[in-house]
Amino acid sequence: MKCMFCKGIMEETTTIHAVEVDGRIIIIKNVPCKKCTLCGEIVYSGVTLKKLEQLINAVKNALTEVAIVNYTDKVA
Ligand SMILES: [Zn+2]
């Protein structure tokens, strides 16, 4: 797979995905992704996006301002 921006090589790696939902910050660690070795662009697969959505839905009702979850712990 090549980067759609710069045609660089996309490498399998993991990243930290952070989103803001209703004023809360949700940080998900160890998210599998492909990352461009040239420009650093990150692409998630459709399956990963779905799991991220599920994780965010599961965590967003927590009463903490900042939630940190581990992708690999929650998605077995
Ligand atoms: Zn690139």
pLDDT for the residue numbered 1: 85
Give 12 Cα–ligand 1 centroid separation in angstroms: 13
Give 7 Cα–ligand 1 centroid separation in angstroms: 6
Structure tokens at 40: 């650093």
Place of tokens 């301002």: 65
- Whether residue 21 contacts residue 56, with contact meaning beta carbons closer than 8 Å, is answered with yes
> What CA–CA distance (Å, rounded) separates 31 from 28?
7
Which residues have C-beta under 5 Å from ligand 1, the single-atom ion?
3, 5-6, 8, 36, 38-39, 41
Structure tokens at 45: 């697969």
Quick one: which of 36, 34, 75, 73 has its CA closest to 53?
A: 75
Q: Could you report the per-residue pLDDT of 3-62, keeping only the tens digit for each?
A: 999 999 999 999 999 999 988 999 999 999 999 999 999 999 999 999 999 999 988 887
Domains of the chain: 10-74 (3.10.20)
